Structures are given as C-alpha cells and as structure tokens.
C-alpha cells in the first residue's frame, strides 16, 4: 500500500502541469501578443457620410525611434495604401485622404486617426502599425458606414454594364459599388433581387429571400448567391450600389411634367433633379414617403414608400418603387429635386 502511494506521488511529480498537457502542435506559431499597442475595445467604428470619425490606436509604451503608420486596405485591388506616418513629433499625410485626416493626439500615447467629412469610399479596413525594427506590430479596425444598398440598371435594360461601367454608373447616382458585407447586410434586411450585379471587389452576386423558379429554382435556399469573380471588361451584369446619409434634402414637386420640364422646375427652386442614390438616402434616413411617381436625373421615375399601403403599389414591404424609364416626353409625373446644404 505504501509502495503504491509512493509510486503515485512520483508519477504526479513527473507529470507535466495541466496547462502544458494540451500543447500546440509542433511548428504552429504562437499568436503574437501586442507589446506596445492596446487592443481596441471596439474594432468596428460606425459612422455616416459627412460625419467625423476616429479610429482608435493607443500605445501602452513609447519605444525608441518608433513610427506609427496608418494605411487602408482597398477591396477592389487588395492594395494597402498609406494614409499617414508619424514619429510622435512630426507626421506626413499621403494619398487622396490627405486633406481630411489628422492624428487625434489626445495625449502623448494617442496615435488615433480622425477622418473629417467621411465619404462613401472611406468605408473599409484600416491598419495602425507600430514600426520599431524587429518588434513591429499592428491592429486592424473597420470603418462602417450606415447606409442602403440598391440594385441599378440603365435605361436600355438589364445586364448592360461591365465592371468599370457599373462602377461609373453608381458614382453618377451619388453612390458607389457595394461591398460584399454591405450586400449581405442588405439581404438580411430584406433585399430580394433576381438580377445579378457587380460589387466592389469585381465579383457578381444576387440576394434572394423568396426562392422561385426564375431565380435559380424553388429548391435553392435563400441567400446571397454568387457567380464569383468575372471578367471586368467582357462580362455584363447590373450593379449593386451603396449610399449613405445625404448632405442636403430631397423634396417633391407635384405636376404633370415631362423630363425637361421636371429639370427646369427643380432649377427654378435653386435645386437639381435628384439622383437615384439621393432618393434612396432620403427614404432610408429622412423617411421620405410619397405615393407620387417623380422624375429623377437618370430619366427614371420612382417613388419612396416607408409606410406600405394598398393604394401605393400594394406591396407589403417599404422601399423605393420604380416605373422604369418612360418616354421623356410623357407629362404624367411630378419631380424629385435635391438641394445641397
């Protein structure tokens, strides 16, 4: 009995501690621990177009001869573009963001990046990197714009855009090509669209809530269906555009106007024909709700509904309804105008 107890004690002394029994497989690198940078409490910063946003990056210590470099990862080409470099005393700005960025400098350990007048193209992933010889380390943050995704096609029908034309078309409508994350979020919020469209990274998708025959069949589950990456020059689809809060106001002028008269009616008020993205933004952020079809700058006729009702199209979901692209000579509709702040 004593011998058995002694052997048990010897085994316990020889056994590895509990924390080391389940060791990482040989060759697997240990996760890097941040020595100088604090892990951000909230890695996603939410904002809207036109606002001021700050991406946090705080040092816990100041190493000798260090630099902090801010950069942005562009999903369209996967490049990392430098925004600003600082050594704590001096800094230099780079690229198109240069006029709108600065370091917050709330205290001597603060290297947070502040972006003023946030634009649609500012959304995405940012990296704050401490450059200190062999001890380089970095944190990643995401700037997320609250907004709305809408499908877009030109007046001559569906599947007419190559990638570059789709990108240009969104920009002409006060928006930009949506990211996959934006399209996915729009799908979770009810976007159901059977036509495939380009998104920012050059892939093609379409979001389906209600499975049906013309949209891949009834047997396929709902989801964001994908065609994957396509030829940006040769392949042609629609576009999924994204827009955020307006820097101005959209309003309706009642009347029986053709397209030319609609434009003049807006100009008479010191405004311009509203773009499609501006109407979607007013619907999303200002709850613009009208049962009246009105001309827009691209020659389409649409109207925004936040409270669905039978006499306004009869559809149960809120949204921006479309009459397509009627003849510009028709005197049937009013007009939606936009005036900037």
Question: What pLDDT was estimated at residue 34?
Answer: 82
pLDDT at 111 over 80: yes
Tell me which residue range forms the domain holding 201.
Answer: 147-243
Of 128, 145, 162, the one marking the end of a domain is: 145
Question: What pLDDT was estimated at residue 77?
Answer: 65
Within-domain flag for 10: no
Within-domain flag for 3: no
Angle formed at CA 73 by CA 68 and CA 77, multiple of 5 degrees: 145
Regarding whether 265 and 203 lie in a shared domain, the answer is: no
Within-domain flag for 25: no
CA–CA dist 262, 334 (Å, integer): 7
Regarding whether 176 and 208 lie in a shared domain, the answer is: yes
Of 206, 221, 243, the one marking the end of a domain is: 243
Q: Dump the DSSP string for 57-112.
A: -BBSS--TT-EEEEEEEETTTTEEEEEEEE-SS-EEE-STTGGGEEE--SSTTB--
Regarding whether 251 and 210 lie in a shared domain, the answer is: no
The CATH number assigned to the domain holding 273 equals 3.10.100.10
Q: What residues are paired with 46 via a beta bridge?
A: 144
Kindly state the average pLDDT of the residues 57-76: 89
Least confident range from 61-65, 170-174, 221-225, 306-310: namely 61-65
Within-domain flag for 22: no
CA–CA dist 27, 25 (Å, integer): 6
Render pLDDT for 16-55 as a digit per residue (tens, 0 to 9).
333 322 233 444 444 457 889 999 999 999 999 999 999 9
Render pLDDT for 245-300 as a digit per residue (tens, 0 to 9).
998 999 999 999 999 999 999 999 999 999 999 999 999 999 999 999 999 999 99
pLDDT at 213 over 70: yes
Of 197, 227, 243, the one marking the end of a domain is: 243
Using a pLDDT cut of 70, give the percent of the chain over it.
89
Regarding whether 151 and 132 lie in a shared domain, the answer is: no
User: 295: part of which helix (H) or strand (E)?
Assistant: strand 294-295
Q: Which has more confidence, 78 or 84?
A: 84
Task: Give the CA dihedral 152, 156, 157, 159, nearest 10 degrees.
Answer: -70
Regarding whether 235 and 272 lie in a shared domain, the answer is: no
pLDDT at 10 over 70: no
CA–CA dist 15, 20 (Å, integer): 10
pLDDT at 3 over 50: no
Tell me what the pLDDT averaged over the chain comes to.
Answer: 89
Question: What pLDDT was estimated at residue 88?
Answer: 85
Question: What pLDDT was estimated at residue 217?
Answer: 83
Cα–Cα nearest to 272, from 292, 308, 297, 306? 297
Question: What pLDDT was estimated at residue 148?
Answer: 97
- Ordered alpha helix ranges (H), 176-257: 180-188
Within-domain flag for 157: yes
Regarding whether 151 and 115 lie in a shared domain, the answer is: no
Regarding whether 156 and 130 lie in a shared domain, the answer is: no
Render pLDDT for 302-328 as a digit per residue (tens, 0 to 9).
999 999 999 898 889 999 999 999 999
Regarding whether 290 and 218 lie in a shared domain, the answer is: no
The structure tokens listed for 37 are: 């940078």
Question: What pLDDT was estimated at residue 32?
Answer: 58
Say how many domains are in the chain.
Answer: 3
The CATH number assigned to the domain holding 72 equals 2.60.40.10
Regarding whether 250 and 224 lie in a shared domain, the answer is: no
The structure tokens listed for 264 are: 């003049």
Identify whether the C-beta of residue 288 lies closer than 8 Å to the C-beta of residue 314.
no
Regarding whether 236 and 152 lie in a shared domain, the answer is: yes
Identify whether the C-beta of residue 266 lies closer than 8 Å to the C-beta of residue 273.
yes
Within-domain flag for 7: no
Q: What residues are paired with 252 via a beta bridge?
A: 336
Regarding whether 277 and 261 lie in a shared domain, the answer is: yes
Regarding whether 43 and 95 lie in a shared domain, the answer is: yes
Question: What pLDDT was estimated at residue 294?
Answer: 98
Within-domain flag for 114: yes
Within-domain flag for 220: yes
CA–CA dist 205, 229 (Å, integer): 9
């Amino acid at each position: 009995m004593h011998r058995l107890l002694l052997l048990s004690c010897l085994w316990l002394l020889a056994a590895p501690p509990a924390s080391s029994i389940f060791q990482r497989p040989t060759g697997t690198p240990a996760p890097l621990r941040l020595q100088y940078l604090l892990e951000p409490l909230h890695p996603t910063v939410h904002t809207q177009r036109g606002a001021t946003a700050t991406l946090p990056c705080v040092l816990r210590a100041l190493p000798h001869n260090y630099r902090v470099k801010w950069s942005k990862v562009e999903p369209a080409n996967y490049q990392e573009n430098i925004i600003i470099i600082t050594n704590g005393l001096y800094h230099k700005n780079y690229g198109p963001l240069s006029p709108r960025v600065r370091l917050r400098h709330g205290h001597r350990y603060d290297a947070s990046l502040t972006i003023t007048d946030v634009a649609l193209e500012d959304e995405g992933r940012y990296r704050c990197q401490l450059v200190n010889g062999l001890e380089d380390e970095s944190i990643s943050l995401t700037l997320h714009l609250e907004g709305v995704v809408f499908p877009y096609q030109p007046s001559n029908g569906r599947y007419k855009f190559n990638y570059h034309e789709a990108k240009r078309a969104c920009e002409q409508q006060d928006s930009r090509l949506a990211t996959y994350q934006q399209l996915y979020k729009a799908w979770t919020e009810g976007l159901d669209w059977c036509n495939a469209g380009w998104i920012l990274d050059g892939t093609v998708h379409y979001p389906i809530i209600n499975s049906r025959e013309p949209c891949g069949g009834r047997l396929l589950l709902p989801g964001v269906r994908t065609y994957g990456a396509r030829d940006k020059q040769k392949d042609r689809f629609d576009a999924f555009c994204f827009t955020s809060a307006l820097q101005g106001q959209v309003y309706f002028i009642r009347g029986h106007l053709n397209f030319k008269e609609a434009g003049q009616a807006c100009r008479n008020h010191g405004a311009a024909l509203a773009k499609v993205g501006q109407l979607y933004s007013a619907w999303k952020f200002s709850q613009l709700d009208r049962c009246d079809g009105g001309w827009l700058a691209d020659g389409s006729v649409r109207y925004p509904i936040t409270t669905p009702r039978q006499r306004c199209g009869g559809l149960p979901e809120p949204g921006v309804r479309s009459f397509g692209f009627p003849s510009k000579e028709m005197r049937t509709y009013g007009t939606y105008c936009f005036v900037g702040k």
